[in-house]
Amino acid sequence: MTDSTKYLRAQPRQGLRAWLRDPAPQTPLQARVQLSWIQWRRFCANHSALFGLLVLLIIVAAALFAPWLANHDIYAQNLALRLQPPSAEHWLGTDELGRDIFSRLLYGARITLYITGLTALIITPLGLVIGATAGYLGGRVDTLLMRLVDIFLAFPSLILALAFVAALGPGIENAIIAISLSAWPPIARLARAETLAIRKMDYIAAVRLQGASAWHIILRHVMPMCLPSVVVRVTLNMAAIILTAAGLGFLGLGAQAPSPEWGAMLASGREFMLNNGWIAAIPGLAILFTSLAFNLLGDGLRDVMDIRHE
């Protein structure tokens, strides 16, 4: 029986709500649960952030259940049904090759989430390690790493991604590498700024006096403190990652045909915008709402995870 269980049984009349609102937590577990509860209530008070989370949950569910939700083969071509408007048979119409747009849109969500998710998994630890190392060690290490960051930041992210993917070759994996190489510098700069403030704290000095090495302090004490701000920044950067991935797909440097990537769908539908506007509008709206949802969620997380929030 844990201490929290004993505490709850000792106060049966007050119940869970009183346990969550106890001004003097009895255990570290209770303190962590209380903090999580306060953050969740603060997040729920932000209706735009809740809307963004709801939209993202819908997109994730559509991507996960795409094989069951799609009502047509995404690669099957039927020129007799090309450029059909939305109907009961084809909910969002058909494209120039007679393929069902609704089914392709669902599978395209998988590609978009795969690109953004894997990119986030790459740039978060990369930027966090480089920024924390530069901020804590300082001196020549800081100068060298920050000049490297400045070189990457000197170029627009889309142009830099285009340069990398042109060198690596078209494809989803190469597009992920190219986007990651262009997206990590802002994360590193933010982690460095956080580290410059954290390294002056008393508990860092206490750990240093105990004989801990610089790398131990960076990995075990500095980086965990930087992580909330970095997570918020990465969430806000998801919209830029989606737009960059769609831009590469639009230019034929990302996912290759006949893959149902949203940027590639938008590129194939631009020729029919005047007479059959839904072909380009539907993937364009999918990109818009997904990017907007990540921005709204990132704003909500920033309010929740800001330790200076009153």
For residue 144, the domain's CATH number is 1.10.3720.10
* Segment among 27-41, 73-87, 128-142, 165-179 with least mean pLDDT: 27-41
**Total domain count, the chain:** 1
**Where is pLDDT greater, at 115 or 138?**
115
pLDDT confidence of 128, banded at 50, 70, 90? very high
In the chain, % of residues over pLDDT 90: 37
Domain boundaries, position 282 = 51-305
Return the pLDDT at 310.
44
State residue 106 phi and psi, 5-degree precision: -65, -45
Q: Is residue 278 part of a domain?
A: yes
Q: Are 30 and 22 within 8 A, CB to CB?
A: yes
Q: Is residue 43 part of a domain?
A: no
Q: Is residue 11 part of a domain?
A: no
Say if residue 108's pLDDT is above 50. Answer: yes
Say if residue 297's pLDDT is above 70. Answer: yes
In the chain, % of residues over pLDDT 70: 93
Q: Is residue 310 part of a domain?
A: no
Q: Is residue 18 part of a domain?
A: no
Q: Which of 25-34, 41-50, 118-127, 161-170 has the highest mean pLDDT?
A: 118-127
Q: Is residue 117 part of a domain?
A: yes
Q: Is residue 212 part of a domain?
A: yes
Measure CA 206 to chain center: 35
Burial class (CB in 10 A: 0-12, 13-18, 19+), 301: buried
- pLDDT averaged over every residue in the chain: 86
- Mean pLDDT of all residues in 204-231: 88
Closest by Cα among 117, 249, 122 to 181: 122
Q: Is residue 99 part of a domain?
A: yes
pLDDT confidence of 127, banded at 50, 70, 90? very high
**Where is pLDDT greater, at 290 or 42?**
290
Rounded Cα gap, residues 23 and 27, in angstroms = 12
Return the pLDDT at 308.
47
Q: What is the pTM of this model?
A: 0.85
